[in-house]
Amino acid sequence: MRVDLSLYLVTDPGLCEARGLVETVMAAVRGGVTLVQLRDKHASDAELVPLARRLKAALAGSGVPLIINDRLEVALASDADGLHIGQDDGEVADARAALGPEAILGLSVQTQEQLARVDTGRLDYLGLGPVFATPSKHDHAQPLGFAGLAELVAASPLPTVAIGGLNAEHAREVYRAGADGLAVISAICGTPDPEAAARTFPRGPDDR
């Protein structure tokens, strides 16, 4: 499935708490977010399913797909549009088999070795990062910088989205590295006005 990766919002339960998670996401969508990932490392599946369903209902009609981080069962139970998994979150083949051919399936990649093993035919995109060190992900891999990002993008068989410590100021360098977009948590969720924050990002490489 072709997916618009240009401004990919990843949620964080703490940073989205002030306004409410669904409110925060919808404000960001009004500001131009093209894809939303529900990410919560601590909530149980039973807690996440109703939240995912509310988010899916809120996004209906916006054209913005909902991706679930890590939890295949939550993605299935909430009728989300897709799943994003990391290197230790199970087999891509199993996730694709369970989700079906129409779902969006993304994988996090941090190194050339991981890239060489990517199951290209079953994935829609790769998340590459972290570009910079970030407090939003504990125990993240060694930051890539823009040079490392560019090397991974050049070798990627799939569309790519850069992640990790990114804000609108970095968009030019991310696109110069060849990525298809930016994925952010704090640059949108961690601001008092997520809609305005989203608007500061360019809509792809040719905007601005």
| Interacting residues with ligand TZP (CB under 6 A) | 10, 129-130, 134, 136-137, 140, 163-166, 184-187
Catalytic residue among 6, 39, 56, 78: 39
Q: Which does 70 bind (CB under 5 to 8 A by kind): ligand TZP, Mg ion, none?
A: Mg ion
CB of 141 to Mg ion, least distance (A): 12
- Cβ burial of 133 (10 Å; 0-12, 13-18, 19+) is exposed
- Is 191 annotated as a binding-site member? no
Q: DSSP letters along 40-68, please? A: -SSS-HHHHHHHHHHHHHHHTTTT--EEE
The type of residue at 89 is: D
108 is a catalytic site residue: yes
Q: DSSP letters along 78-102, please? A: TT-SEEEE-TTS--HHHHHHHH-TT
Q: Name the segment binding Mg ion (CB under 5 A); options: 28-36, 63-71, 155-163, 171-179.
A: 63-71
Sign of CA dihedral 96, 4, 68, 84: positive
First to last CA, the chain: 27
70 touching Mg ion, by CB under 5 A? yes
- Is 56 annotated as a binding-site member? no
Closer by beta carbon to ligand TZP, 135 or else 157? 135
89 touching Mg ion, by CB under 5 A? yes
Chosen residue from 13, 19, 86, 200 binding Mg ion by CB under 5 A: 86
Closer by beta carbon to ligand TZP, 8 or else 96? 8
Question: 15 and 189 in contact (C-beta within 8 Å)?
Answer: yes
Q: Under the rule (CB under 5 A), what is the footprint of Mg ion?
A: 70, 86, 89
